[in-house]
């Protein structure tokens, strides 16, 4: 139903998801999530075409990581939305 492609850099993991079919809210109950242990010591940039509630679940999943950004195609950049990292602040752009 959902596939992840993960690209690593020194400071973040770029997590692109792709949906094989239209997702429904009930699918969230059995959705496979990326293994969080790989992500603790870096930030995460989430990218993909999907509903806001899918992003919501992924954002919650990655909450323990160093920071979270969502990819904004219009700007070709990640936008930091939460952070435990002094180097990255809410609203910062991360050029990709």
**Residues found near a second copy in the complex (CB under 8 A):** 25-29, 51-53, 55-57, 59-60, 63, 68-70, 72, 75, 77, 79-82, 89-93
Contact yes or no for 52/37 (Cβ under 8 A): no
Tokens for 35? Answer: 């293994």
CB closer to a second copy out of 6 and 79: 79
Least Å distance, CB 39 to a second copy, is 16
| Residue 22 DSSP SS3 | coil
CB closer to a second copy out of 6 and 82: 82
Least Å distance, CB 63 to a second copy, is 7
Give the integer Cα–Cα distance in Å for 64 and 43. Answer: 10
Least Å distance, CB 23 to a second copy, is 10
Give the integer Cα–Cα distance in Å for 3 and 55. Answer: 14
């Amino acid at each position: 139903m959902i596939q992840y492609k993960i690209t690593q850099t020194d400071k973040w993991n770029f997590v692109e998801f792709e949906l094989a079919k239209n997702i429904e809210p009930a699918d969230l109950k059995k959705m496979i999530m990326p293994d969080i242990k790989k992500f603790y010591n870096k930030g995460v940039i989430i990218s993909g075409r999907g509903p806001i509630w899918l992003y919501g679940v992924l954002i919650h999943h990655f909450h323990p990581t160093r920071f979270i950004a969502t990819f904004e195609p219009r700007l070709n950049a990640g936008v930091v939305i939460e952070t435990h990292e002094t180097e990255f602040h809410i609203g910062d752009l991360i050029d990709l």
